[in-house]
Chain A
């Protein structure tokens, strides 16, 4: 197996045993990027020189037996919504095409402390708004499993880069499913941690109360490794949780005997794609074989897309409309040229700098927050959000883990849903409620559809129960191997 095809936990051992060097590993991923990224377009920027220099430094330190971080020498790709000091951070947008971040995101600083090697920034739907990675100013990313299909979104570049072996690890961000859905579509593992488990400082905000950074990797063990490196309280993020980080690897392989896996009937409506439904039921059955107990649960609000999708988009767009006001051409980023007065400068800058979907969401969000509509939309959505959270709380009184599909279908064709934003929004029916509730969720590849494309399974756990979630995901992964 080529170096770039291996997992991080395998490579860490091989690096430690001096079988390979960090330079060889980084070079292998860079070669792979050279070979395939012209087609896949998973990356917006690649820092080959910086990555190799860093790799050499790691190798030198290892040669001197200096202490190294847990991810020493492992290449990682970052969704281009995470600030890396001195590097371009575009958010997939023209408006930030040339923006150089003056600081490191906390998660990035943690990766540096773990001695991981940042090889580049990955493509994404503009400002993380999208489910297909087609809304990027830098062109769409293609699904490595089938270049006619989308990789999912918004972290499509990160999922595709991992799936195409262009990197060993990646970070994405998940606001309504943006890590889990592309992981599902590309056949890799993607985790959205509990809201507040990973610092959002330096994650360019789409919807502040929903955004979380999450690992994308080839297997569950790598996800646990990566989460270990980035989880923790950050005084710079008031919404981060001040609770000690457990050892996610410690009990990973302990099995799932006695754990209760809940299935909500609402997650299997009549019209659900038969392959997807079958895969989820089969996954539940194999977990039962492995010692889990299956239970039926109800999610009368959280299980209904008509509540969740509306609530999710009202809150996300409302927050986004304010979060994106700072891109006004005054301080940084694109500014319209010409002899313009202030209003014209704002109007032209934002009209030129933002893509269609971003403009749509800013307008919808602005509307939802407007005087006279606030109570009917934004406030109401917050009330429904509380009901959704309570739904999950109640469900978790009778089970440890919830199991559902990740998305209603396998990866769709490029261009298939771009003309119908509402259809596109329905990609999030299994994932958005999870962000609204703030609970952790993971997408694990489980089966392949008749089209040969991966079908992912979503597992959910109560807040801060990532260890249990990963244990269940690890067990599920074993049944597919």
Chain B
């Protein structure tokens, strides 16, 4: 039998606010000395009270708007009660019945083309502390306790591991564009759970879903879903039934494992948080947040296609990071710039360097203006491609002006026929066998002679001219 995979996802995103969700402590906790960003509020000292971080509300509303959600003017925070040492108060302040954002969608790319994934809700809550088990002792770091956490929940319209992967990528792109979060899964700034079930193809009913947690990387999401789908199929084909359990993804072994299933009977006893008043968002506030939205990836992609005539592959690479896209645009809009060759250089040479050296485009020493100037030198024939790469290397490492580098390094292309004639004659004389071959009609050998001329001219020769001269002197 053929099966259809049905997936719903819950993504937790840590917001990049200066302070925590309910107190003034710094929200930054990555590689910070343990228990230094804490106060009476986030360590749940008796008598301490929460105050809502307005910026976290804004970032969540922005995310909701970017995901085409309705923003709910009436917001209620609730207490989600459970006892665990990483949760200082014994309850997590979250949103339950009335989330900030509802009923949105994200467009992803599926096998059959573009597809909308429904976003049921986006709500705001607080993160927990971090437990560290060392032998017989357990240590707690409360730096992360109370950091604003946004939860994005989809409907059950994801149909494959690839779709889940693309969905997650789109979410990360959006929160990065908004500056809402770093979206770094490896740093825990984005965490993911998937509800996975399968059903016979064509069926309208849902199968029993299994919740898979601990998906800490993009790869884990893809692999865990693929594994779990396989596992469920096997269970069914062997005549068994999928049980509703919570599984954890074991990255090392590449398997999902059942976690202690007390989860199924857990009663969180939600009730409205009495330490916070209901939040009533005014239309003006919502509109202002909407106006603050930057251009989003999908709109940028459409515009790049229209204005610069780029292909989808280049666009996808360019808009992945808003800073890269901005770099490209600044260069592409320079007078005389050819957007396509700018795109080639950005997606080629610049990306290679960024990835190899793990640096950000913001730190690049090659300014968009310099890049355009370099491309103009190539286009005008002042330097050839080889020289261009050498100039780029210099620019990348030290910055500066391309023209000046060409000057200092003496890279100007030799397009002077008399000068090149001499070099070509010398090379032909030194390589009589090759010359004979060419005369016999083996034109591929022209390339060999060209290489020799380049060597002779230290790479500065105008390659087209050299080719012509070789053919001319050998009369082919």
* A-to-B contact residues, CB < 8 Å: 81-83, 89, 91, 96, 99, 101-103, 105, 200-205, 207-209, 235-239, 318-319, 321-322, 325-326, 328, 330-332, 342, 346, 366, 369-371, 374, 378
Contact = CB atoms under 8 A, between A and B. Distances in A.
Interface stretch (B84-92, B164-172, B358-366, B396-404): B84-92
Contacts of B274: 207-209, 239, 319
A201 B83 CA distance: 24
B47 A105 contact: yes
Given A101-B45, A238-B50, A238-B276, A322 B271 contact: yes
Given A318-B271, A369-B269, A331 B46 contact: no
Given A89-B46, A102-B45, A239-B275, A322 B51 contact: no
B89 A326 contact: yes
A332 B269 contact: no
Contacts of B85: 328, 330, 342
B94 to A, nearest CB: 13
Contacts of A330: 85, 140
A328 B85 CA distance: 8
A326 B267 contact: no
B269 A201 contact: no
B271 A202 contact: no
Most-contacted residue by chain A among B43, B52, B90 (CB, 10 A):
B90
A371 B43 CA distance: 28
Contacts of B270: 369
B430 interface: no
A255 to B, nearest CB: 37
A371 B51 CA distance: 28
B interface bracket (residues with beta carbon within 8 Å of A): 20 to 34
4 nearest CB pairs, A to B: A325-B90, A209-B274, A208-B274, A369-B269
B88 A237 contact: no
A277 to B, nearest CB: 35
A366 B44 CA distance: 20
A370 to B, nearest CB: 6
Interface of B: 40, 43-52, 79, 81, 83, 85, 88-91, 140, 267, 269-271, 274-277
A332 B45 contact: yes
A102 B40 contact: yes
Nearest to B265: A371
B49 A103 contact: no
B46 A204 contact: yes
B286 to A, nearest CB: 21
B43 A331 contact: yes
Given A208-B274, A238-B52, A346-B83, A326 B269 contact: no
B156 to A, nearest CB: 23
B44 A326 contact: yes
B1 to A, nearest CB: 37
A325 B46 contact: no
Given A99-B46, A101-B46, A326-B46, 19 more contacts: A83-B47, A89-B47, A101-B47, A105-B47, A200-B49, A201-B49, A203-B47, A238-B275, A239-B277, A322-B81, A322-B90, A325-B83, A328-B85, A342-B85, A366-B269, A369-B270, A369-B271, A371-B267, A374-B271
Contacts of A319: 271, 274
Contacts of B43: 331
A37 B414 CA distance: 105
Contacts of B50: 238
B44 A236 contact: no
A326 B90 contact: yes
A95 B149 CA distance: 32
Contacts of B276: 238-239
Contacts, number: 96
Contacts of B275: 205, 208, 238-239
A202 B47 CA distance: 4
A236 B45 contact: no
B81 A202 contact: no
Nearest to A103: B40
A205 B88 CA distance: 15
A122 to B, nearest CB: 16
Contacts of B40: 102-103
A209 B81 CA distance: 17
Contacts of B45: 83, 101-103, 332
B89 A325 contact: yes
A208 B44 CA distance: 14
Contacts of A328: 83, 85, 90
Contacts of A237: 49
A91 B46 contact: yes
A238 B89 CA distance: 17
A202 B89 contact: no
Nearest to A378: B271
Contacts of A207: 274
A378 B81 CA distance: 15
Contacts of A102: 40, 45
B49 A331 contact: no
A370 B49 CA distance: 24
Contacts of B46: 83, 89, 91, 96, 99, 101, 204-205, 326
B209 to A, nearest CB: 20
Contacts of A81: 47
Contacts of B271: 318-319, 322, 369, 374, 378
B88 A236 contact: no
Contacts of B52: 238
A321 B52 CA distance: 23
B79 A236 contact: no
Most-contacted residue by chain B among A105, A235, A330 (CB, 10 A):
A330
A81 B269 CA distance: 26
B49 A236 contact: yes
Contacts of A318: 271
A207 B275 CA distance: 10
Most-contacted residue by chain A among B81, B85, B140, B275 (CB, 10 A):
B275
A101 B45 CA distance: 8
A386 to B, nearest CB: 13
B48 A201 contact: yes
A202 B275 CA distance: 13
Nearest to A318: B271
A91 B47 CA distance: 11
Contacts of A235: 51
B253 to A, nearest CB: 26
B267 A325 contact: no
A290 B267 CA distance: 57
Contacts of A371: 267, 269
A369 B48 CA distance: 23
Contacts of B81: 321-322, 325, 369
Contacts of A322: 79, 81, 90-91, 269, 271
A146 to B, nearest CB: 33
Contacts of A321: 81, 269
A331 B44 contact: yes
A128 B174 CA distance: 49
B269 A374 contact: yes
A198 to B, nearest CB: 13
Contacts of B83: 325, 328, 346
A322 B178 CA distance: 35
A140 B47 CA distance: 24
A326 B275 CA distance: 15
A99 B40 CA distance: 13
Nearest to A365: B269
Contacts of B90: 322, 325-326, 328
Contacts of A83: 45-47
A239 to B, nearest CB: 6
14 contacts: A83-B45, A83-B46, A91-B46, A99-B46, A101-B45, A204-B47, A236-B49, A319-B274, A321-B269, A322-B91, A331-B44, A332-B45, A369-B271, A374-B271
B346 to A, nearest CB: 48
Contacts of A91: 46
A88 to B, nearest CB: 12
Contacts of A331: 43-44, 88
